[in-house]
Structure 1
Amino acid sequence: MEEVMALSEPEQNTWINRPEYSEVSEDRIVIVSDANTDFWENTYYDFSHYTGHVYGKETESDFTFQVRVKADFSALYDQAGIFIGGTETAWIKAGIEFNDGQPSIGCVVTNNNSDWSTGLFPGNPGDFWMRVTSKSDVIRIQYSIDGKNWPLLRLCTWPGTRKRFIGVMCCSPKRKGLSAEFTEILLTTPLDSDLHDLS
């Protein structure tokens, strides 16, 4: 993919809920989570949380965003991955989340209420890749265990406005100090591959 904009350029980017500690360089972003951080809206738990950490930028263009994620998940609901934001009640997050005693791959699509899909992760949860492609109002989310093969994780419609905030995400609802490292960051024009093309 041809890179069209670098997510790690500080002058072009901003935070949703900047953490107490972070590092941003040309080719690497590190987020260490504050306590009680999460993104969730209503469903099952009857609470609204918009306290997770995201570093990224706004765009009104179609795009593909891809990143490598390394993190040490150990506490319930530890999570790291990618985030697409519209408003506090219209957003998508996807990545690894620690639940039921193990890290799982999952996606939450929120449009006033959160819709969570999750399943067992077949690779090393401490080192994985995420990719999201946005074309018109369609969102395609993929993951990879090796940076080469990209199974489909979620296909959905975008719940927000044309302007989206795209970035890397880290949360820890039950503790402080989840460290997530993001590298191999690409934000490009959208891929135009077949839905079941794994490349």
Structure 2
Amino acid sequence: MRKERISWSSGSWSTDPLSCCEQDGKLVVEAREGSDFWQTSLYGFQRDNGHALLTGWKREDAVEVSFRLSGFDHLYDQAGLMLRYGPERWVKAGIEINDGVPHIGAVATERYSDWSLAPVPEWQRQNITVRASRLQDAVIVRARAGHGPWRTIRVCRLHAEYNWQAGPYLCAPTRAGFQVAFIGWVWTSPDIDVHTEP
């Protein structure tokens, strides 16, 4: 499978994090307290101050973001992959702490946000990779721990006419001091089918 590394310096932050530095090829980022992405549903509030490092996303490429699942221990600590057109049109997918347990999940937003998730306590302290690939009018989002099998976590519509961006993201809605070590960001070969592993 083709893999093309994306330089950390090629992206631009949607909102600057508290700190960000490259260490031995990794990007270590600290989120600002209260950072989040959410639009209205259930909670009634709108947040668009999370930290997403974004670059233009060509339709023919799949994109993958990898990070270490370590130090996630407060409610809603989260990191993963962001697909974004604007404040009201985006998809975020990755790990989020809910009721003390890491969950793999996704939020798809078209003016209003939704949220799907499943517990993955066995993924703790592993390297997590989240992947997105476009197929027809949709995006297939998958994730895995280490070199384990891919788990399909979301298929949702993605408007082809929009100029989407993609890249790593993190948020710390409830606390200060949350850091994430991102270890990979690549373009790669797209999925050929939702039922066929990459």
TM-score normalised per structure 1:
0.89
| Selected match of 1:66 from 64, 67, 90 | 64
| Structure 2 counterpart of 1:175 | 175
Does the 8 Å contact 2:101/2:121 carry over to 1? no
Cα distance, 1:41–1:50 mapped onto 2, change above 3 Å = same
Q: Which moved more, 1:37-46 or 1:121-130?
A: 121-130
* 1:123 partner SS: helix
Cα distance, 1:150–1:139 mapped onto 2, change above 3 Å = same
Cα distance, 1:160–1:111 mapped onto 2, change above 3 Å = farther
State the 1:84 CA deviation: 0.2
| Structure 2 portions without partners, runs of 5+ | none
Whole-angstrom CA distance in 2 between matches of 1:65 and 1:45: 30
User: CA deviation digits over 1:56-113, x for unaligned, max 9?
Assistant: 2023433211122113111111001100001100000011101112111110000000
| Structure 2 counterpart of 1:34 | 32
| Selected match of 2:51 from 37, 50, 53 | 53
| Structure 2 counterpart of 1:105 | 104
State the 1:28 CA deviation: 2.1
Does the 8 Å contact 2:39/2:111 carry over to 1? yes
Does the 8 Å contact 2:101/2:120 carry over to 1? no
Does the 8 Å contact 1:105/1:119 carry over to 2? yes
Whole-angstrom CA distance in 2 between matches of 1:41 and 1:134: 23
Residue 119, structure 1, aligned to residue 118, structure 2:
yes
Whole-angstrom CA distance in 1 between matches of 2:22 and 2:139: 27
| Structure 1 portions without partners, runs of 5+ | none
TM-score normalised per structure 2:
0.90
Does the 8 Å contact 1:94/1:106 carry over to 2? yes
Whole-angstrom CA distance in 2 between matches of 1:160 and 1:21: 34
- Alignment-mate amino acid for residue 87 of structure 2: E
Runs of 4+ in 1 over 3 A off after TM superposition: 24-27
Whole-angstrom CA distance in 1 between matches of 2:109 and 2:161: 13
Does the 8 Å contact 1:83/1:93 carry over to 2? yes
The count of residues paired between Structure 1 and Structure 2 equals 196
* 1:19 partner SS: coil
Whole-angstrom CA distance in 1 between matches of 2:33 and 2:108: 23
Does the 8 Å contact 1:111/1:159 carry over to 2? no
Whole-angstrom CA distance in 2 between matches of 1:115 and 1:17: 22
Whole-angstrom CA distance in 2 between matches of 1:77 and 1:65: 24
| Structure 1 counterpart of 2:155 | 155
- Alignment-mate amino acid for residue 138 of structure 1: A
Whole-angstrom CA distance in 1 between matches of 2:23 and 2:190: 25
- RMSD of the alignment, in Å? 1.9
Does the 8 Å contact 1:36/1:175 carry over to 2? yes
Whole-angstrom CA distance in 2 between matches of 1:122 and 1:83: 22
Does the 8 Å contact 1:17/1:51 carry over to 2? yes
Does the 8 Å contact 2:102/2:121 carry over to 1? no
Does the 8 Å contact 1:76/1:174 carry over to 2? yes
